[in-house]
Amino acid sequence: MISKVKLFVGFDPRESVVYHTFIQSLIEKATLPIEITPLAVSTLNFYEETHKDKSNDFVYSRFLTPFMSNFEGWSIYVDGDMICQADIKELLALRDKTKAVQVVKHDYKTKAENKYLDNKNENYPRKNWSSVILWNCSHPKHKILTPDFINKQTGKFLHRFSWLEDEEIGELPIEWNWLAIEYPKNPSAKLIHYTLGAPCFKDYRKTSMAENWLKIQKRTCNGMDLD
């Protein structure tokens, strides 16, 4: 029986509004307590980020999830640039104890050469698989994911889950990581992922499914005088 959802969320101070908007959307739909940990680099005093190829602050820290969960139980990791349109316990209910992780196995070529904050948007194998991860934290293969180990690995190794065999990587329904702009509009999407750029950025304010994000963002600031 699920009594609580343990959730780790990517956080980058350059777009902190997306984190808070996601949390608002999450709480609005949740029917269970949620233990939320923002992966803010400044709070990770056991981990020194030395990678030079980061497009955001949580490119590598997401792989600390099993370590931060004491290699026990189940945890969820999500990028912060999303909104949740379903009860997050539904995602946890999909857990399969025969798998080390479960992800949406995207297979696509991007529509854009660049994304938010002028970052290069390259195609690569298993692109966006690691943006939503249902972690079986107690799986023995994860024991190597210590802060020191992660700091020494390449993005290619980590984001392709290279410490696992293919059969240990389970699949989630695509509705749990629906890529706005890259995919058609989908009112039934459970997690909308603004992977190219959230509508907090001017260039993405009128893009596909931006209205879903903007409605939540408005409720997040409800009661504030923004004039």
The CATH number assigned to the domain holding 102 equals 3.90.550.10
pLDDT reported for residue 113: 67
- Say if residues 39 and 69 touch (Cβ distance below 8 Å): no
Q: Which tokens hold the place of 31?
A: 């029917």
Residue numbers of the domain that contains 198: 5-220
Examine residue 226 and state whether it is found in any structural domain, yes or no: no
Examine residue 225 and state whether it is found in any structural domain, yes or no: no
Q: For residue 150, count CB atoms less than 10 angstroms from its CB and return exposed for 0-12, middle for 13-18, buried for 19 or more.
A: buried
- How confident is the model over 38-46, as a mean pLDDT? 93
% of the chain residues with pLDDT over 70: 92
DSSP class of residue 203 equals G
Higher per-residue pLDDT: 116 or 35:
35
Examine residue 78 and state whether it is found in any structural domain, yes or no: yes
The pLDDT-based confidence of 226 (bands split at 50, 70, 90) is very low
Examine residue 85 and state whether it is found in any structural domain, yes or no: yes
Please give the model's pTM, rounded to 2 decimal places: 0.93
Give the tens place of pLDDT for each residue, 54-67: 666 789 999 999 99
Examine residue 208 and state whether it is found in any structural domain, yes or no: yes
- How confident is the model over 164-173, as a mean pLDDT? 98
In whole angstroms, give the CA distance from residue 21 to residue 192. 12
Examine residue 166 and state whether it is found in any structural domain, yes or no: yes
Give the list of residues 6+ apart from residue 2 with CB closer than 8 angstroms, or none: 32, 89, 92, 93
Examine residue 110 and state whether it is found in any structural domain, yes or no: yes
Count of structural domains, the chain: 1
Element (H or E) spanning 212, and its range? helix 210-220
Examine residue 185 and state whether it is found in any structural domain, yes or no: yes
pLDDT reported for residue 51: 79
% of the chain residues with pLDDT over 90: 81
